[in-house]
Amino acid sequence: MEVLSLNTRFAEMDRQEVRRVVSFYSKALREAAERAIRFDDDRVNEFREALLRLAEELEGSGQHGLDPIHVKFGESMAAFQRDGEGHLRTLREKLEEATGALANMVVSVSDLGTSHQADLEQEVDRLRLLQHVEDIARLRAELADATARMSASLEGMRREHQMVVTQMRDEIRSLHREMESRSVRPPRPEPVSAAPAETPAPASEPTTGTGRREIERLLRDRTEADEPVTLLIVWMRNLAPMFTQHPPELVLDLMAAASARLEQVLQGRGRWSKWEDDCYIVCVPRAKSEVTRVAQDVAMRLNEGYLLQRSDGAHHLALKVSIGMVDRTKDESADTMLARAGKLTTNMRSRPQAA
């Protein structure tokens, strides 16, 4: 009797252990169905339904269904993993193509002087890093965020260039009216001889602004008073080649026109001076956060086309302008800021530029 009682107890313990195993396995199947990685809604729903059916089948069959259901579960997981890897591979290929297209677009818009170029360049760098991400869920979320940021930048570019087109149309209309009212123009005096075409001539007096000493004085006053101040470097990156492509006198006229536009666009918000032969420096007595708009205005206005009238007719020229910014750090002196401005100018020239 005691032996039969022990056997009964052991059998009951085995049954309880089997029920626990079946219960745990069933819960594991349902948990796996709930937490399946979402990469394709139809495929994920199919996988979930398959796991839920296995859980129901296991709960109905008990111990005898455990081994075959374990085999089916392994097959379902392997197939789902293959589909996920294929989806990730396709996503990476498309991401690589999109990144290349975006990089080419950033190069093409660099000539437009848009203030959103830096934002798009950062997105290109982010997308290149995302090509190595293994987590599909993270990759999808990061791509959604990147898409939203790029959409905002492209919309900003559209608004900026809509403004540029409107301004250019107004200028052309004004020019046409002026030409119609002055159909006969007095001949212009012959320009004085200039330096050889292969050597850029120094900027003429109308392009010097308030003078470098005045810029340095304003900068020292602001730094010594511990007040906000920011420097802008305005680099005309295609100016030097123009001296080999056009008469030097025409290029000097272009610089004078650009200087006049710089004076107009600043509207008293800052003072400017010639910094180097192909650069201006602008001292803006404001913090960097407030100077961003000034930099955008300068880039937009100076990058527009120029119609120059000379004795030999009208000449259409275009500047390619890049803007660098030096904001004052805590307790920084004027000399240190000027030194940083010099390094920034060198760095801007050393960067690869779009053709």
Q: Is the dihedral of CA 77, 78, 84, 87 positive or negative?
A: negative
Q: 117 and 20 in one domain?
A: yes
- pLDDT at position 187 is 45
Is 83 inside any structural domain?
yes
Is 36 inside any structural domain?
yes
Q: 239 and 130 in one domain?
A: no
Is 197 inside any structural domain?
no
Is 196 inside any structural domain?
no
Residue 345 tokens read as: 């100018």
- pLDDT at position 111 is 52
Report how far apart, in Å, the C-alpha atoms of 34 and of each of 40, 47, 134, 235, 322 are.
15, 10, 21, 57, 53
Q: 113 and 69 in one domain?
A: yes
- pLDDT at position 204 is 39
Q: Give dist(CA 278, CA 239) in Å, integer.
A: 6
Q: Give dist(CA 119, CA 96) in Å, integer.
A: 19
Q: Which domain holds residue 55?
A: 1-185
Identify the domain boundary among 185, 220, 241: 185
Q: 178 and 146 in one domain?
A: yes
Identify the domain boundary among 123, 156, 185: 185
Q: 144 and 16 in one domain?
A: yes
44: CB partners within 8 A, 6+ apart: 36, 37, 38
Q: Which amino acid is at 253?
A: D
Q: Give dist(CA 286, CA 241) in Å, integer.
A: 34
Beta bridge partners of 310: 313
CB 92 within 8 A of CB 131: yes
355 HSE (CA, 13 A, CB side): 1
Residue 246: CATH number of its domain: 3.30.70.270
Residue 124 tokens read as: 């290109």
Q: Which amino acid is at 282?
A: V
Task: Compute the residue count for the chain.
Answer: 355
φ/ψ of residue 234, rounded to 5: -105, 100
Is 234 inside any structural domain?
yes
pTM: predicted TM-score of the whole model, two decimal places: 0.45
Q: 227 and 170 in one domain?
A: no
φ/ψ of residue 276, rounded to 5: -140, 180
Is 193 inside any structural domain?
no
Number of domains, the chain: 2
Buried b (16+ CB within 10 A) or exposed e, 106-118: bbebbbbbbbbbe
- pLDDT at position 186 is 45
Identify the domain boundary among 153, 185, 217: 185
Q: Give dist(CA 96, CA 139) in Å, integer.
A: 13
- Cβ neighbours of 272 (radius 10 Å): 24
Query: What DSSP designation does 227 have?
Result: -
Query: What DSSP designation does 62 have?
Result: G
- pLDDT at position 63 is 63
3-class state of residue 325 by DSSP: strand
- Whose tokens are 């007595």? That residue is 285
Q: 172 and 139 in one domain?
A: yes
Is 229 inside any structural domain?
yes
Q: 236 and 93 in one domain?
A: no
Q: 16 and 163 in one domain?
A: yes
Q: 227 and 85 in one domain?
A: no
What radius of gyration, in Å, describes the C-alpha atoms of the chain?
35
Query: What DSSP designation does 145 have?
Result: H
Residue 159 tokens read as: 């608004």
Q: 178 and 233 in one domain?
A: no
Q: Which regions in the chain score pLDDT beneath 70?
A: 1-18, 39, 62-65, 105-118, 136, 153, 156-209, 351-355
Query: What DSSP designation does 298 have?
Result: H
Is 259 inside any structural domain?
yes
3-class state of residue 221 by DSSP: helix
Q: 226 and 116 in one domain?
A: no
